[in-house]
Amino acid sequence: MLCPDSDGPETYGLTAGTPPEPNPAHQEAADQDADNDTDLDDVFDSADEVDDGPSLDLAKPYNRQQASHGAAKPTANTFASIDDQVAELSKHAAKIRLDNVKQGQDRDKDKSDRATAELVLDQRTRMILLQMINRGLVSEIHGAISTGKEANVYGAVLYPDNPDADEPIQRAIKIYKTAILVFKDRERYIAGEHRFKAGSDKGNNRKMVKLWAEKEFRNLRRLHAAGIACPEPLMLKLHVLVMEFLGDKRGYAYPRLRDARLAGDDVDDQWHHLYVQLLGIMRRLYQVCNLVHADLSEYNILYHDKQLYIIDVSQSVEHDHPHSLEFLRMDIKNVGDFFRRQGVDTLQDRTIFNFITAPEGPVEEPALSQAIEHLYEIRPAVAETDEAAAALEVDNEVFRNQYIPQTLDEVYDIEKDADKKVDELVYKHMLADRTVVEEKEEDAGSSDEGSDEGAALSGDDESDVDESIFDKGRPRGKKHEDKDEKKLHKQAVKEAKREKRKEKIPKAVKKRLVSTTTRKKK
Ligand SMILES: Nc1ncnc2c1ncn2[C@@H]1O[C@H](COP(=O)(O)OP(=O)(O)OP(=O)(O)O)[C@@H](O)[C@H]1O
Ligand SMILES: [Mg+2]
């Protein structure tokens, strides 16, 4: 059953109790650390698929080590050795107690039963879990916290060496399902990710799942390094990810934001603060981690004691992903919809989008929250008439349907855009941080007061512009758009015109806008 000697799986994270030490300032370096953090003296190296060639960049360091260690590896008795080790691991079998469903949450009851029934773990997964027990990463694995289409999450517990002195540590284990066919969708998230260029292999489910788990592991590391509340990722082995458990000492997970029940006299205030907290997290995620969550909603946020925890980041994408801004807009909408249902007075989607993407501005609390409160202060007077309220709603709709160019090369109609105020451009943060200087020159004394996004544009020199934004992404002119997109875009332009602002764009800015784009088109 077990086949010896192939390109084996990579293990990330805790090895013999060593916590990962990601560096927030060097995300790529952190990712690279993960690449090198392989454990080769591992029985499951041999248990991995024979036909799986190295699929990722991170296979390179592995291969190098493989080559240098290869000679020392016993070959003749590999089968016997693996069998011995399997037998050795089997002594832990009783510690995988998936029928012991600890999570008492109603929403999961049926699902847990289903999970138990359906989860006769495949041999590979079982071996990975046994090995984790053997290594002391966890002592026992319990019932499902959650089961879904793509992954199940289980509670696990690590009993301390000295039970008198230390409390048991709860952990969560996310096991991605390998025998499913829902990856068509996932391709959309992985394709376009420079980190996973070589990894996508639609034809191989197991590889795709592994990639997916790896994406979650790396993204969690980024969040954790950036100080965003999330489960700390501890170990990854193929499609099995061990992470910090977000819940109480007895093993009950924190509720999803959707299920959170706030108590007290100031529930409205609490919801408002959670909303502000989340917008801050989204900006931090974007600016510090370079990520867009891409599935952010009340289902993928846990709540405890006034704190939001971000989970489920397997589909999160980098800025340069061709759909990252669309995903961001979707996240903003989902978050807004949820908080409005809680009675929160939410900001306009467009305002939030600009707040999150503006390169200048705070990324740390409490300045983040203050900047958001400032957005409330400077927003146009609350729409008192039905007409004004409707106009605001129209603006929200326009924004939601607007075509968002991902790079300046993708700007749809520069001539039309040139007639708009810079603030109206959904891609304004892609433009060189130049306009303020010129605005100031033209109209001394006027600042960015009129802007409602809270974070001011900087007066940086053009040379500081990240040129890389110009050469990434699929060029998307009219002919690349599908019919619906075209229609939506047309509607958006029409609406936007109707709403046209009184002030026109300053001449110098207009000239600059045209010349920037023209230059890049060459
Ligand atoms: N670290 C954790 N600690 C406690 N509970 C967790 C943790 N991670 C996940 N959960 C629980 O498991 C649930 C599912 O997790 P997650 O959202 O990451 O999986 P998923 O990818 O949505 O799975 P699927 O899409 O298959 O439903 C969460 O809603 C949460 O209740
Ligand atoms: Mg989820």
Q: Is 42 considered catalytic here?
A: no
The sign one gets for the Cα dihedral 423, 425, 429, 432 is negative
Q: Rounded to whole angstroms, what are the CA distances from 492 to 351, 448, 485, 488?
A: 17, 25, 10, 6
Max CA separation in the chain (angstroms): 83
Residue 56, annotated ligand binder?
Answer: no
Q: Please give the mean pLDDT across all residues of the chain.
A: 71
Active site residue: 57, 113, 259, 295, which one? 295
What stretch of H or E contains 394? Answer: helix 386-401
- Among 400-414, 429-443, 483-497, the range scoring the smallest mean pLDDT is 429-443
- Among 79-93, 237-251, 311-325, the range scoring the smallest mean pLDDT is 79-93
What pLDDT, on the 0 to 100 scale, is given for residue 410? 65
Could you tell me where the beta strands, DSSP code E, fall in 63-159?
140-147, 151-158
pLDDT digits (tens, 9 = 90+) for 375-410: 999 987 766 677 777 877 888 888 888 777 776 666
Residue 300, annotated ligand binder?
Answer: yes
Q: Is the peptide bond before 366 cis (omega within 30 degrees of 0)?
A: yes
Residues spanned by CATH 3.30.200.20 within the chain?
Answer: 11-244
pLDDT digits (tens, 9 = 90+) for 112-169: 444 444 455 788 899 999 999 999 999 999 888 998 888 999 999 999 888 888 899 9
How close is the Cα of 273 to the center of ligand 2, in Å? Answer: 23
Q: For residue 73, is pLDDT > 50?
A: no
Residues whose CB falls within 8 Å of the CB of residue 189, separated by 6 or more in sequence, listed in order: 215, 294, 315, 317, 321
Query: Six-digit token pair at 268?
Result: 């409205």
Please work out whether the CB of residue 150 comes within 6 Å of at least one atom of ligand 1.
yes
pLDDT digits (tens, 9 = 90+) for 296-349: 999 999 999 999 999 999 999 998 899 999 999 999 999 999 999 999 999 999
Q: Which residues surround ligand 2, an ion (CB under 5 A)?
A: 300, 312
How close is the Cα of 429 to the center of ligand 2, in Å? Answer: 30
- Among 87-101, 322-336, 349-363, 489-503, the range scoring the smallest mean pLDDT is 489-503
β-pair partners for 308: 303
The sign one gets for the Cα dihedral 184, 185, 191, 197 is negative
Indicate which residue's Cα is closest to atom 4 of ligand 1. 246
Ranges 423-432, 470-479, 506-515, most confident: 423-432
Q: Is 83 considered catalytic here?
A: no
Q: What secondary structure does DSSP assign to 226-246, as a single string?
A: TT--SPPEEEEETTEEEEE--
What pLDDT, on the 0 to 100 scale, is given for residue 56? 32
Distance of CA 327 to the CA centre of its chain: 10
Active site residue: 31, 42, 312, 417, which one? 312
Of all residues in the chain, the percent with pLDDT exceeding 90 is 38
The interface predicted TM-score of the complex, written ipTM, equals 0.98
How close is the Cα of 312 to the center of ligand 2, in Å? Answer: 5
Query: What whole-number distance in Å separates Cα of residue 136 and Cα of residue 294?
Result: 34
Query: What whole-number distance in Å separates Cα of residue 442 and Cα of residue 444?
Result: 6
How close is the Cα of 284 to the center of ligand 2, in Å? Answer: 20
- Among 246-255, 415-424, 468-477, the range scoring the smallest mean pLDDT is 468-477
Q: Which ligand is nearest to the CA of 257?
A: 1
DSSP 385: S
- 30 compared with 108, residue with greater pLDDT: 108
Mutate to test the pocket of ligand 1, among 170, 256, 312, 334 (most ligand atoms within 8 A of CB): 312
Pick from 222, 244, 248, 247: which is nearest to 233 by CA?
Answer: 244
Question: Looking at the domain that runs over 11-244, which CATH code has it been given?
Answer: 3.30.200.20
Please work out whether the CB of residue 245 comes within 6 Å of at least one atom of ligand 1.
yes
Residues spanned by CATH 1.10.510.10 within the chain?
Answer: 257-346
Pick from 299, 420, 397, 301: which is nearest to 348 by CA?
Answer: 397
Query: What whole-number distance in Å separates Cα of residue 261 and Cα of residue 182?
Result: 33
Residues whose CB falls within 8 Å of the CB of residue 469, separated by 6 or more in sequence, listed in order: 320, 407, 408, 430
Mutate to test the pocket of ligand 1, among 150, 311, 334 (most ligand atoms within 8 A of CB): 311
Please work out whether the CB of residue 256 comes within 6 Å of at least one atom of ligand 1.
yes
Please work out whether the CB of residue 247 comes within 6 Å of at least one atom of ligand 1.
yes
Amino acid letter for position 51: D
What pLDDT, on the 0 to 100 scale, is given for residue 381? 72
How close is the Cα of 94 to the center of ligand 1, in Å? Answer: 25
3-state helix, strand, coil in the chain (%, to 5): 45, 10, 45
Given a contact cutoff of 8 angstroms between Cβ atoms, the answer to whether 75 and 5 are in contact is yes
Residue 174, annotated ligand binder?
Answer: yes
Please work out whether the CB of residue 312 comes within 6 Å of at least one atom of ligand 1.
yes
Indicate which residue's Cα is closest to atom 16 of ligand 1. 312
How close is the Cα of 299 to the center of ligand 2, in Å? Answer: 6
- 454 compared with 332, residue with greater pLDDT: 332
Please work out whether the CB of residue 328 comes within 6 Å of at least one atom of ligand 1.
no
Helix (H, G, I), strand (E, B) or coil at 444: coil
What pLDDT, on the 0 to 100 scale, is given for residue 439? 36
How close is the Cα of 201 to the center of ligand 2, in Å? Answer: 23
Q: For residue 265, is pLDDT > 60?
A: yes
Given a contact cutoff of 8 angstroms between Cβ atoms, the answer to whether 489 and 412 are in contact is yes
Top CATH class of 257-346 equals mainly alpha
User: How many helices and strands, by DSSP H and E, does the chain display?
Assistant: 17, 10
Residue 312, annotated ligand binder?
Answer: yes
pLDDT digits (tens, 9 = 90+) for 220-237: 999 999 999 999 999 999
Please work out whether the CB of residue 301 comes within 6 Å of at least one atom of ligand 1.
no
Could you tell me where the beta strands, DSSP code E, fall in 19-101?
none
